[in-house]
Structure 1
């Protein structure tokens, strides 16, 4: 199958072996895959990322000297099932999944593994118990956003966000927007979003996400936190 392969500090299109499912695994065809900011960094700095993990006490099983196929934000279609699966999702079913694979060596991250190619390949192996069927109303591209949106949702769920707090989101990339969306879904506000990029502040945050203050960088955000009533009265649409 064709894949975009990280080979050294470069990406190349090459042919790699078709995936063969082991026990509990499912073969899927990639329909859509997002490009994570981590992928952009890892192209040129995978060696440094692995070394930092080793120094922090979290050694990675990935060898940056060997081929890696990125892609952990994906929507895919079930093709076939390996042994020991219950085949609960028929071939043709669209799915998303937690991008990890249980192995005898522990968990491996799909897309940051020498063994399990990610969504930048035509097909992948996924763990059957971690599959989630995509509702019919979602496009492939929308479904592929499940992983970054889950990161934002998890961050808010683990935080102390509440109705008596002012919420600061530093960085308005996909995960930052997912945090804002998770706050809004809970009816929480005001939300102050800070980003150095004028394009992100103009396009991503305002007016797309109602009730969010978009300010220039972290300094502006902390100024708003110091006087939230003033900023909220002037800049924030009242919560519904």
Structure 2
């Protein structure tokens, strides 16, 4: 039976054994405290690309770090954790204070025991690459009327960036350096711009990504094949004002404002490159998700007294804060979006995202045919 002949089934994109396929699946049933929602827009996250390309490494590292089996490689998974949705119906033991038909956003997990990470479950607990999904009522946030569906879907990646900037704990004199202008690097630039930090220095090999970095607020954008981002940083961070200089270091001369470097690439070798190039007493915030083993020389970081900070996800307060900034217009995220696709186009969209010259952020619109 065609799924449109039945109100009990939906389209969903499943990942299984390293591939993506469009399937028909039952519409999930909300449990206690849960809400069935219709997915309006879902962003394709870089971590989804990594999850597909490095499934075994992701599962192994998650197991080693948390003791949790995130999912099984030979079982279907419906990814998608950046979304905007519409309330359809409430499950048992809910208050129903947000009327059906209302647009909502939510952090990507269900308040079950144990907590379920949306985007890593099967068709019975789907992520946003489906027509319908389940959310916890207690985590729902109304999407303001002036925020389009696709912009609301960017709340999650922008919250990741906000959390990374918060982890960096920049001072007013900091000169930030963003290495890698993929979606998360671009989001970090947008947050830094909103917060008033600068000048912002950014680096990426891709001309189109460099153009987007400029559009989102970077002041100095370089191609690292031609110009060292660290030398570019020195040019704009140099100061003779001792009250604006970074902390002293006995091995390196003063003369620069404080440095916070955001690693937004997530491939082996980048951390060592940053440690070698960054100024003494830099803070390095690792936001890029590397799913392979990596190594670096601790002596370099020790002599420079570099703080190495790792960042993932966000708090509930940070998520809500970002949605407020998107609604007020203080945070500009629209330049991130380069394409919109339907569910049937998701496998091809993943392939396009492998080429940074073609795409940055692709938003899936499940209703599109």
Q: Structure 1-normalised TM-score?
A: 0.88
Which runs of structure 2 are paired with 1:15-164 in the superposition (5 Å)? 15-104=24-113, 106-114=114-122, 115-164=124-173
Shift of 1:58: 4.6
- Which segment drifts farther, 37-46 or 219-228? 219-228
Which whole-Å CA distance do the structure 1 matches of 2:104 and 2:167 have between them?
Answer: 26
Shift of 1:138: 1.0
SS in 2 for 1:226: helix
Which whole-Å CA distance do the structure 2 matches of 1:182 and 1:198 have between them?
Answer: 21
CA pair 53-217 structure 1, distance change in 2 beyond 3 A: farther
SS in 2 for 1:6: strand
Structure 2 regions of 5+ residues with no counterpart? 1-9, 239-369
CA pair 225-178 structure 1, distance change in 2 beyond 3 A: same
Deviation per residue, 1:155-179 (Å, 9 max, x gap)? 1122221211110111112221221
SS in 2 for 1:103: coil
Structure 1 regions of 5+ residues with no counterpart? 231-240
CA pair 189-63 structure 1, distance change in 2 beyond 3 A: same
Partner of 1:228: 236
Partner of 2:243: none
Which whole-Å CA distance do the structure 2 matches of 1:217 and 1:96 have between them?
Answer: 37
Deviation per residue, 1:93-128 (Å, 9 max, x gap)? 101110011222x22210112352101111000111
- Which segment drifts farther, 9-18 or 55-64? 55-64
CA contact (8 A) 1:10 1:44 kept: no
Partner of 1:235: none
CA contact (8 A) 1:152 1:179 kept: yes
How many residue pairs were aligned?
227
SS in 2 for 1:53: helix
Partner of 2:216: 209
Which whole-Å CA distance do the structure 2 matches of 1:3 and 1:61 have between them?
Answer: 20
Confirm whether residue 178 of structure 1 aligns to residue 217 of structure 2: no
Which whole-Å CA distance do the structure 1 matches of 2:29 and 2:217 have between them?
Answer: 47
SS in 1 for 2:152: helix
Runs of 4+ in 1 over 3 A off after TM superposition: none
Q: Structure 2-normalised TM-score?
A: 0.59
Q: CA RMSD in A?
A: 1.7
CA contact (8 A) 1:27 1:123 kept: yes
Which whole-Å CA distance do the structure 1 matches of 2:28 and 2:78 have between them?
Answer: 13
Structure number, greater radius of gyration = 2
Deviation per residue, 1:4-56 (Å, 9 max, x gap)? 11121111111112110100100000111111111112223222210122233
Which whole-Å CA distance do the structure 1 matches of 2:80 and 2:147 have between them?
Answer: 20
Partner of 1:199: 208
